[in-house]
Amino acid sequence: MKLIVSDLDGTFLNSRHEVIQENVEALKAAQREGVDIAIATGRNYGNVLALCQRAGLRPHVISNNGAFVYDKDGKLIKSIGLDKGRVKEALDWLEYRNYFYTLCTDHSIYMPADAHAILTSDYANATNLVRQMTPEDLKEGIDIFLTLDSTVFVNDFHEILKQDVTFGNISAITLDYDKLRQGREYFSNYDGMSMTIAGKDIFEMIHPSVSKGNALEYLAAHLDVSLEDVMAIGDNYNDISMLKRVGISVAVANAEDDVKKICRHVSLSNDDKGVAHMIHKMLGRMVVPVCKRRA
């Protein structure tokens, strides 16, 4: 095992999207054994960097579901962005149908200025909830989401599109099952973009050539590491492309069933420190016993 790659939400972080210290210490232990570490996430690089700095981690980072790849020194080594014409068309479709959405670069999450009101209204108008939530659950979830590092609130997304930046992904969130199904069906066949799923109430649009798997393959080649010597850990559909390519594929216990089916190992859940559990298990296998000489 020469490289460990972990997803963030639903995997490395607990169900409240908090860092688990045992997972941090496990990654540090792997580094001390000479193993490279990386984070592969739908979040953008700016958000991941802030989180890792607070945790005292220095990983390579695959962000925006594979649109950007950074080495552990913060150097951008790969970037594939969305066509701005396609972005505008997609945002117009989402806005006309009252979806909440964000537009992300590698360092910024552009979010509507009235994000709280949009998400609250979506919940109130849902005819068929994706998951059962109390108003208190909703408020807590929205508060966590709106306080993400690198969030920028905007009034006009069309002005943002005029900026000379690379947009890695669009994320749409709805708590209404019928709207969720409609949006996923529409963008699953959208020309010029691919759709990926990272959670029960979300769908995201990325460049057709972008995936965590493609980004991981590029990172491994950059590090001169065989994919057979990589352990990847994940929980959702956007992790499948990387889990299928590595020698050691791990699903946490809370992962989607389709993810568990393609993995060689199933660890404990994200709330039960599943990442740390599997890392220590694999590190233990790396220890070569010392044979005592006969007298």
Q: What angle do CA 162, 167, 171 make, to 5 degrees?
A: 115
Burial class (CB in 10 A: 0-12, 13-18, 19+), 247: middle
At 292 the pLDDT is: 41
At 288 the pLDDT is: 43
In the chain, % of residues over pLDDT 90: 88
At 132 the pLDDT is: 84
Does any domain span residue 294? no
In a shared domain, residues 216 and 275: yes
Burial class (CB in 10 A: 0-12, 13-18, 19+), 84: middle
In a shared domain, residues 126 and 269: no
At 221-238, the pLDDT tens digits run: 999 999 999 999 999 999
In a shared domain, residues 188 and 110: yes
Q: What is the CATH number of the domain that holds 148?
A: 3.30.1240.10
Q: Are 149 and 17 a contacting pair, CB within 8 Å? A: no
Q: Domain ends where: 190, 206, 222?
A: 206
Of 64, 68, 130, 136, residue with least CA distance to 102: 64
Does any domain span residue 52? yes
Does any domain span residue 292? no
In a shared domain, residues 232 and 262: yes
Q: Domain ends where: 145, 177, 206?
A: 206
Does any domain span residue 17? yes
> 156 an active-site residue?
no
Q: Domain ends where: 206, 230, 261?
A: 206
Looking at per-residue pLDDT, the higher value among 290 and 190 belongs to: 190
At 295 the pLDDT is: 33
Looking at the 3D structure of the chain, how many domains does it have?
2
At 194-215, the pLDDT tens digits run: 999 999 999 999 999 999 999 9
Q: Is the pLDDT of residue 177 over 70?
A: yes
> Which pTM value belongs to this model?
0.91
Does any domain span residue 74? yes
Of 274, 272, 252, 273, residue with least CA distance to 263: 252
At 286 the pLDDT is: 62
In a shared domain, residues 136 and 159: yes
Q: What is the CATH number of the domain that holds 218?
A: 3.40.50.1000
Range of the domain at 19: 3-79+210-286
